[in-house]
Structure 1
Amino acid sequence: METNRIASYTLLREIGSGGMSTVYLAENDIGDQFALKTLNLDLIQQESIRNRFRNEMEALKSLRDIEQVCQIKDFYEDGQQMAIVMEYLTGHDLLRFIRLNGPVPPQQLIDWMRMLLPAFARCHDRKIVHRDVKPSNFS
């Protein structure tokens, strides 16, 4: 990690990373914790990638009324860094839950899907597609 601060957020530790971005556990000056997603520095000069990152932020903002969607709290851009600040969800994601507990009983899966499908439907109604649906993205 090259820097330990972005805007008014202190980066505490890396939570995860992918081809486009890295997510950190961060906190603001009063100690509230957030998930801070940064665009990888090697991509920041590509306008199309920056636009894609901004579009992701706008999509998240438009889903604020859906409680099953992780909520965006802030956005930062200064020409050298871009970051989306989201609520930090504690606990295990679905992939870790499965690894720790084994297969999920069918009725439990049905119950979870009943909670999630309305959120997917509302996203679909707004022409928003989640392009990375996988167990590790559900908490």
Structure 2
Amino acid sequence: MSFSTTPSPLQADLTQSGELLHDRYSISRQLGRGGFGITYLARDVRLPGTPRCVIKQLCPKVQSPSALKKARQRFEQEAKALAKLGSHSQIPQLLDYFEIDGEFYLAQEFIRGRTLAQDVSKIGVWTEAAVKEFLKEFLPLLQYVHSQRVIHRDIKPSNIVRCREDGRWVLIDFGAVKERVAFSDPHSRSLATHFVGTIGFASPEQIAMRPVYASDIYALGVTCLYLLSGRVPSEQDYDPYTGEILWQHLVHVSDYFGRILDKMLKAAMRDRFQSADDVFRALELEAHLDTLRPCLSHHPLSQVESVSGSDEFISPLVRTAMAIRAWQARLAARQARDQENS
């Protein structure tokens, strides 16, 4: 891989050049343009059948050769990290990376399919059952991303694609990778350009530029609201004192799922689910509620009598066990009376 020593301004639309990029990629059309660069749909003419791929052109905001050198190092590091993430079947594979005239390029697998945003636009809002099924399929992927010490930072309906061939959910557009390359020069960073994400889907701590893994949980919660209501964040109301989304009047869901959704959407990070695994376990628990309910006591623990009748300390665990046994004894006595009277 060859590198230049001087940065260049962001290139004009590559679809107008008519030349192969890197002597390999035929640019078909532009897919999007943002603060970090441009994304293109292309074909790899060196491979049989000229398969489609996605080219991401990253333009580092650097002003000196030393900053460009640092950007180059970060680009290689992030490309390797993206390649490792791409070993997961629900993340696009990294096919190639290279530099031309101080601009960096990533070639990634093209996912044929429809985004969540396109699905809602075409078919309409989802049912609670459909959203829960989506979460159970998507949350293990998010847990994997976090296990690799990566915060996606831009989870939203347009960045989640249902693959047409096999139906798997695919997470695209890792904004954190682009940000680390683009802002390699610490002197060029500013509050206006450092933020990565989408307003409305980004959590309060992410907007404050202190994202954590739970920030992705918040964005996923907002995505679920969109699936259930069809409303984008700008069409939702917020509590002016707490910053909480006032969503309860927008959708009709079960009490149990409503509590899960509410905890995903907590404005205060400490009150939110801390991991994708936590959300997944809460969803899985719902199927066992009927089995667990007979083991739950409806009486305050303070009403449970001490076995010894003394004032000695009884741990919360022992008190809970005592409450359950007392409840089971009452249930057995009631069933015995019912049999005698029948």
Q: TM-score, with normalisation over the residues of structure 1?
A: 0.85
Which one of the candidate residues 52, 75, 80 is aligned to 2:102?
80
Work out whether residues 22 and 37 of structure 1, in 8 Å CA contact, stay in contact via their aligned partners in 2: yes
Shift of 1:103: 1.0
CA distance in 2, matches of 1:84, 1:65: 16
Shift of 1:51: 5.7
After TM superposition, the structure 1 = structure 2 runs for residues 47-126 of structure 1, keeping only pairs within 5 Å, are 47=68, 53-126=75-148
Work out whether residues 35 and 85 of structure 1, in 8 Å CA contact, stay in contact via their aligned partners in 2: yes
More helix by share: 2
Distance 1:53 1:110, change over 3 A: farther
Shift of 1:96: 1.1
Distance 1:112 1:54, change over 3 A: farther
Shift of 1:52: 5.6
Code of the residue aligned with 2:111 in structure 1: it is: L
CA distance in 2, matches of 1:66, 1:114: 17
Which one of the candidate residues 4, 21, 29 is aligned to 1:6?
21
Work out whether residues 95 and 136 of structure 1, in 8 Å CA contact, stay in contact via their aligned partners in 2: yes
> Partner of 2:193 in structure 1?
none
Structure 2 counterpart SS, 1:92: strand
User: Which consecutive segments of 4 or more residues in structure 1 shift more than 6 A?
Assistant: none
CA distance in 1, matches of 2:130, 2:74: 35
Distance 1:64 1:91, change over 3 A: closer
Work out whether residues 44 and 50 of structure 1, in 8 Å CA contact, stay in contact via their aligned partners in 2: no
CA distance in 1, matches of 2:125, 2:143: 26
> Partner of 1:32 in structure 2?
51
Code of the residue aligned with 1:67 in structure 2: it is: S
Distance 1:122 1:11, change over 3 A: same
**Structure number with bigger Rg:** 2
Shift of 1:124: 1.1
Structure 1 counterpart SS, 2:117: helix
Q: How many residues align?
A: 138
> Aligned-pair RMSD on alpha carbons?
2.2
After TM superposition, the structure 1 = structure 2 runs for residues 10-21 of structure 1, keeping only pairs within 5 Å, are 10-21=26-37
CA distance in 2, matches of 1:53, 1:111: 36
Shift of 1:55: 4.7
Structure 1 counterpart SS, 2:96: strand
CA distance in 2, matches of 1:49, 1:132: 22
Shift of 1:98: 1.0
Distance 1:95 1:53, change over 3 A: farther
Structure 2 counterpart SS, 1:38: strand
Distance 1:11 1:94, change over 3 A: same
Structure 2 counterpart SS, 1:107: helix
Deviates more, 1:67-76 or 1:47-56: 47-56
- Identical counterparts, % of pairs: 26
Unaligned runs of 5+ in 2: 1-12, 162-342
Unaligned runs of 5+ in 1: none
CA distance in 2, matches of 1:102, 1:57: 37
